[in-house]
Amino acid sequence: MLSFHVIAAVPGQAARERCNTQLIFSIGVRPHARPGPCRRVNDQRKLVVELRRSMGRLEAALGTISDALAITCCEGRVLWCNASYGELVARTPPSLLGESIYDQLPRDCDGASLLNPEQVLAGNDQGGQFTKVLHRKELRALEIEWKPIRSERLRPLIFCFRDVSALLSYEQLRVEAERIERRRQQTENLNRALEQERLALATKVMECPVTGLPNRRALHVSIRAALKTQRENGGRISILFCDLNSFKEINDLHGHQIGDDLLIEIGRRLQRSLRFGDILSRLGGDEFVVLTMGIFDEGDALQLAMRLNDAVGQTWSVEDHTIRPSMSIGITISDDPEISVNELIRRADLAMYEAKTNGDQHISFYHSSIDKKVRKNIHLRHQLEGALLHEAMFLAYQPIVELGNRMVVGMEALLRLGAVAAPIATPSEFIPLAERTALILPIGRWVISQALKRLCQLRAEGSDVTMAINVSPLQLKESGLSDFFLSQAERSGVDPSWTVIEVTESILIEHPDLATSELRRLREAGVKVHLDDFGTGYSSMSWLARLPIDTIKVDRSFISDFLHDHRKAVVLEAMIRLSRDLGLGLIAEGIETTEQHAGLLAMGCAQGQGYLFGRPEPLTRSCAVPA
CATH number where 298 lies: 3.30.70.270
445/428 Cα distance (integer angstroms): 19
Mean pLDDT to the nearest integer, 35-46: 69
CB-based contact 161:68 (threshold 8 Å): yes
Whether residue 418 is found in the same domain as residue 337: no
Assign 7 a pLDDT band (cuts: 50, 70, 90).
very low
Whether residue 404 is found in the same domain as residue 523: yes
CATH number at residue 412: 3.20.20.450
- Give me the residues paired with residue 241 across strands: 289, 330
| Closest to 527 (Cα-Cα) out of 487, 580, 583 | 487
- With the CA atoms of 277, 283, 286 and 291 taken in that order, what torsion angle do they form, in degrees rounded to the nearest 10? -20
Residue 618 lies in a domain: no
222/345 Cα distance (integer angstroms): 12
- The interaxial angle of helices 247-254 and 256-273, nearest 10 deg, is 140
In the prediction, which pLDDT does 10 show?
Answer: 39
* pLDDT surpassing 60 at residue 492: yes
Residue 621 lies in a domain: no
Across 414-418, 504-508, 515-519, the highest mean pLDDT is recorded for 414-418
In the prediction, which pLDDT does 170 show?
Answer: 63
In the prediction, which pLDDT does 540 show?
Answer: 58
Boundary residue ending a domain (168, 197, 232): 168
Boundary residue ending a domain (305, 340, 366): 366
CATH number at residue 12: 3.30.450.20
Mean pLDDT to the nearest integer, 274-301: 89
Of 138-142, 369-373, 576-580, minimum mean pLDDT range: 138-142
111/489 Cα distance (integer angstroms): 85
Distance of CA 465 to CAs 217, 482, 524, Å?
Answer: 60, 22, 20
| Closest to 80 (Cα-Cα) out of 4, 157, 3, 27 | 157
Residue 120 lies in a domain: yes
In the prediction, which pLDDT does 135 show?
Answer: 62
Whether residue 530 is found in the same domain as residue 400: yes
CB-based contact 588:367 (threshold 8 Å): no
Whether residue 163 is found in the same domain as residue 24: yes
pLDDT 10s digits, 44-71 = 777 877 777 777 777 777 777 889 999 9
Residue 183 lies in a domain: no
* pLDDT surpassing 50 at residue 557: yes
Whether residue 340 is found in the same domain as residue 423: no
Dihedral sign, Cα of residue 222, residue 224, residue 230, residue 235: positive
Residue 409, domain extent: 377-609
* pLDDT surpassing 60 at residue 203: no
DSSP 427-454: HHHHHHHHHHTTTHHHHHHHHHHHHHHH
Q: What's the number of domains the chain is made of?
A: 3
Assign 278 a pLDDT band (cuts: 50, 70, 90).
very high
CA end-to-end span of the chain: 145
468/410 Cα distance (integer angstroms): 7
In the prediction, which pLDDT does 171 show?
Answer: 64
In the prediction, which pLDDT does 176 show?
Answer: 67
Across 24-38, 109-123, 538-552, 565-579, the highest mean pLDDT is recorded for 565-579
Residue 186 lies in a domain: no
CB-based contact 321:314 (threshold 8 Å): no
CB-based contact 10:19 (threshold 8 Å): yes
Whether residue 163 is found in the same domain as residue 239: no
* pLDDT surpassing 90 at residue 209: no
254/283 Cα distance (integer angstroms): 22
Largest CA distance in the chain: 156
* pLDDT surpassing 50 at residue 6: no
Residue 393 lies in a domain: yes
Whether residue 242 is found in the same domain as residue 353: yes
State the alpha helices, DSSP H only, in 154-297. 170-206, 216-233, 247-254, 256-273
Residue 143 lies in a domain: yes
Mean pLDDT to the nearest integer, 531-554: 76
Mean pLDDT to the nearest integer, 9-21: 39
CB-based contact 445:473 (threshold 8 Å): no
Q: What element of type H or E holds 461?
A: none
- Phi then psi for residue 281, to 5 deg, are -130, 155
394/417 Cα distance (integer angstroms): 7
* pLDDT surpassing 50 at residue 11: no
47/53 Cα distance (integer angstroms): 10
* pLDDT surpassing 80 at residue 21: no
Whether residue 230 is found in the same domain as residue 156: no
In the prediction, which pLDDT does 129 show?
Answer: 87
Whether residue 19 is found in the same domain as residue 42: yes
Assign 29 a pLDDT band (cuts: 50, 70, 90).
very low
Q: Is 587 helix (H, G, I), strand (E, B) or coil?
A: strand
| Closest to 240 (Cα-Cα) out of 159, 320, 164, 300 | 300
Whether residue 447 is found in the same domain as residue 356: no
Mean pLDDT to the nearest integer, 475-503: 92
Mean pLDDT to the nearest integer, 309-326: 86
Boundary residue ending a domain (323, 342, 366): 366
In the prediction, which pLDDT does 460 show?
Answer: 93
Residue 147 lies in a domain: yes
Whether residue 237 is found in the same domain as residue 159: no
pLDDT 10s digits, 211-251 = 889 999 899 999 999 999 999 988 899 999 999 988 887 88
Of 175-184, 188-197, 481-490, 514-523, minimum mean pLDDT range: 175-184
What b-and-e string marks burial along 584-622, b requiring 16 or more CB atoms within 10 Å of the CB? bebbbbbbeeeebbebbeebebbbbbbebbbebbeeeee
In the prediction, which pLDDT does 268 show?
Answer: 93
Whether residue 444 is found in the same domain as residue 561: yes
- Phi then psi for residue 439, to 5 deg, are -70, -15
